[in-house]
Amino acid sequence: MASKLTARKVDTAKPGKYSDGGNLYLIVSETGARKWVLRFTWRGRAKEMGLGSAASVPLADAREKAASARRKIAGGLNPIEERKRDGGVPTFGEMADDVREALSAGFRNEKHKAQWKSTLGTYAAPLRAKPVDTINTDDVLAVLKPIWTAKAETASRVRGRIEKVLDAAKAKGLRDGENPARWRGHLDHLLPRPSKLARGHHAAMPYEEVATFIADLRQREAKAALALEFCILTAARSGEVLGMQWSEINFDTKTWTVPADRMKAGREHRVPLSSRAIAILRQIEKLKTGEFVLPGLVRNKPMSNMAMEMVLRRMKVEDATVHGFRSSFRDWAGNVTGFAREVVETALAHVIGDKAEQAYRRSDALEKRRKLMEAWAAYCERRAATNVVSIGERRG
């Protein structure tokens, strides 16, 4: 094994190439010029990185520079490209944070902003430390492939957000060339189409079992159990229920009005409250401690988004989720009742029809939905032994 260089050898070496170990070399030209070079392999290709002239960079400093570059390589970074940061090129993570803040004014709510941060922070984590001008198609594919089929909807959002960050970098003159996260004409040749991917569905309890489940649920005294029953009876999303404030409840009209910034579709949604839903609110009202109907352990914060799921776990319900009860409601309404599809979809706060149809649909069918929700509440009062079937409203 060749011995390491010494300071004297560096000063007296004749023209040639001399190894110091760890792929660090002293190169002496025919003219006597001496320079430091680190050799490494990057994505299957041999690379050389200059570390400066031996006249100005002592042996100890050259070794430290080489060690720093090797650490970057071990961390998945190209040290040559990383050095460009000295010229002011931000990392993908820094650029993503800037883009998120710039776009946040247009986000529907804080939840959307948090989703931007969490998806890029979690799934695009391997990109965060890389200079934004060095990210290529292989980098993007390394992020997307592990989740492309397993978490199709999430993966599609991650891809779109990566594309937006890289587009912003190009607009600021920090990148050149095509966007490696672009779908059409690029990644669509390398990944299966999103429409052909299986989308995840929330496990749902068969609607025939919901009444028996609610009977068991009422044996629990926890406020989270009341929250879950209310969520089931209103067919609402868990986030809408947990963020509910007393100012949104009108006991006189038996209506809960969810503001647009807390709705997935970004539109205000009125929820007709059944007699049982009102009774639950009256019961919770006796313990009123702040603006939130369902306050959490932290002052001025709502109940944890895991509270209702934990009720299911404690009840050993393994084949259903909180969100899945919306599907239970939808299946019941479609199979058991005669309520029009549009009424049921509106009750679920789904957007119906194209933009033209939405423009002409002025009514939210509140009173028709009130009958629907009372019928659902009555169905949920049934016991498994009964044969009563809710008929609802017949189609015209």
Q: What pLDDT is stored for residue 95 in this prediction?
A: 87
Q: What pLDDT is stored for residue 18 in this prediction?
A: 92
Write the secondary structure of 275-294 as one string of H (helix), E (strand) and C (coil). HHHHHHHHHHHCCCCCCECC
Report which of residues 299 and 364 the model is more confident about.
Answer: 299
Work out the average pLDDT over 331-345.
91
Q: What pLDDT is stored for residue 390 in this prediction?
A: 41
Neighbours of 321 (CB within 10 A): 18
Query: Are residues 123 and 143 in contact, defined by beta-carbon separation less than 8 angstroms?
Result: yes
Of the candidates 87, 106, 133, which is a domain's last residue? 87
**Cα separation, 148 vs 309, whole angstroms:** 26
Query: Are residues 308 and 238 in contact, defined by beta-carbon separation less than 8 angstroms?
Result: yes
Residue 183 sits in the same domain as residue 218: no
Q: Domain count for the chain, please give it.
A: 3
Confidence at 155, pLDDT banded by 50, 70, 90: confident
Of the candidates 139, 164, 196, which is a domain's last residue? 196
Range of the domain at 165: 92-196
Residue 71 sits in the same domain as residue 154: no
Q: What pLDDT is stored for residue 111 in this prediction?
A: 60
Measured over the CA atoms of residue 182, residue 186, residue 190 and residue 194, the dihedral's sign is positive
Residue 132 sits in the same domain as residue 61: no
Domain CATH for 347? 1.10.443.10
Is it the case that residue 355 has pLDDT exceeding 80? no
Is it the case that residue 175 has pLDDT exceeding 50? yes
Kindly state whether residue 394 falls inside one of the protein's structural domains. Answer: no
Kindly state whether residue 358 falls inside one of the protein's structural domains. Answer: yes
Residue 211 sits in the same domain as residue 316: yes
The gap from C-alpha 291 to its chain's centroid, in whole angstroms, comes to 28
Kindly state whether residue 385 falls inside one of the protein's structural domains. Answer: no
Residue 296 sits in the same domain as residue 342: yes
Is it the case that residue 164 has pLDDT exceeding 60? yes
Domain CATH for 150? 1.10.150.130
- Listed ranges 42-46, 122-126, 215-219, 286-290; the one with the highest mean pLDDT: 215-219
Kindly state whether residue 391 falls inside one of the protein's structural domains. Answer: no
Domain CATH for 55? 3.30.160.390
Residue 142 sits in the same domain as residue 285: no
Report which of residues 150 and 384 the model is more confident about.
Answer: 150
Residue 261 sits in the same domain as residue 331: yes
Token code pair at residue 325: 């009860």
Work out the average pLDDT over 349-374.
70
Is it the case that residue 394 has pLDDT exceeding 80? no
Residue 102 sits in the same domain as residue 220: no
Q: What pLDDT is stored for residue 82 in this prediction?
A: 73
Residue 16 sits in the same domain as residue 150: no
Distant-in-sequence, close-in-space partners of 325: CB < 8 Å, separation ≥ 6? 204, 205, 210, 231, 232, 235
Q: How long is the chain?
A: 396
- Listed ranges 61-65, 76-80, 251-255; the one with the highest mean pLDDT: 251-255
Element containing residue 84 per DSSP (H, E)? none
**Cα separation, 300 vs 12, whole angstroms:** 73
Q: What pLDDT is stored for residue 195 in this prediction?
A: 55
- Residue linked to tokens 């009123």: 288
Residue 232 sits in the same domain as residue 191: no
Neighbours of 380 (CB within 10 A): 24
Give pLDDT tens digits for 199-226: 445 678 999 999 999 999 999 988 999 9
Report which of residues 102 and 234 the model is more confident about.
Answer: 234
1-10, 180-189, 279-288: the lowest-pLDDT one? 1-10
Q: What pLDDT is stored for residue 51 in this prediction?
A: 83
Give pLDDT tens digits for 80-95: 777 655 556 788 988 8
Work out the average pLDDT over 178-192.
92
Is it the case that residue 359 has pLDDT exceeding 60? no
As a whole number, the mean pLDDT across the chain is: 84
Q: What pLDDT is stored for residue 363 in this prediction?
A: 58
Of the candidates 133, 163, 196, which is a domain's last residue? 196
Residue 99 sits in the same domain as residue 25: no
Q: What pLDDT is stored for residue 136 in this prediction?
A: 92
200-204, 306-310, 383-387: the lowest-pLDDT one? 383-387
**Cα separation, 384 vs 391, whole angstroms:** 17
Confidence at 44, pLDDT banded by 50, 70, 90: confident
Neighbours of 50 (CB within 10 A): 13
Is it the case that residue 1 has pLDDT exceeding 80? no
Residue 236 sits in the same domain as residue 351: yes
Q: What pLDDT is stored for residue 319 in this prediction?
A: 81
Is it the case that residue 198 has pLDDT exceeding 80? no
Token code pair at residue 337: 């009742």
Q: What pLDDT is stored for residue 391 in this prediction?
A: 40
Kindly state whether residue 232 falls inside one of the protein's structural domains. Answer: yes
**Cα separation, 242 vs 46, whole angstroms:** 56
